[in-house]
Amino acid sequence: MILTCIVGSILISIVIIALIPRENSMKLRQQALEWSLITFALSILLLVNLHQEAQFQQIIEFSWVNTIGWFEGSPILFAVDGISIFFIVLSTLLTPICILVSWDSIKFLVKEFIMCLLGIELLL
């Protein structure tokens, strides 16, 4: 459930950033920082609730393609184990740090930069 919230919060943040006008760069940065901190807090919650003795937890499965050639019946599966939880926490920690470090250095294409940064966080 928490893993779904993490993925959902990143998707929601990308949509919100996409809806903010490009000229309002301070609002873009603030929203990106707020949503990345929310995602980091959710990943800490995931780390606290993880049982170390179990193999896979927080399993999410999507049956996304049913009729396309060799993809037929291939699900997308997300799961968290004892090692991958640290990579999730690390990537969600690095995103607000990257936003803060780039606060004054990125002057052009701020919206695109932030959306790409959040997209990379989603893929990691």
* Structural domain includes residue 51: no
* Residues in contact with 111: Cβ distance below 8 Å, sequence separation at least 6, in sequence order: 17, 18, 20, 22, 25, 28
pLDDT at 70 over 90: no
Q: Does residue 115 contact residue 17 with C-beta atoms inside 8 Å?
A: yes
Work out the pLDDT band at 41, boundaries 50, 70, 90.
Answer: very high
Number of domains into which the chain is organized: 1
What's the pLDDT at 49?
83
Q: Which pLDDT tens digit goes with each residue over 72-108?
A: 666 666 777 778 888 999 999 999 999 999 999 988 9
* Structural domain includes residue 2: yes
Q: Does residue 58 contact residue 2 with C-beta atoms inside 8 Å?
A: yes
Residue whose C-alpha is closest to residue 124's, from 81, 96, 90: 90
In this predicted model, which residue has the larger pLDDT, 61 or 75? 75
What is the average per-residue pLDDT within 44-63? 70
Domain housing 112: 1-46+58-66+73-123
pLDDT at 57 over 70: no
* Structural domain includes residue 52: no
Predicted model pTM:
0.81
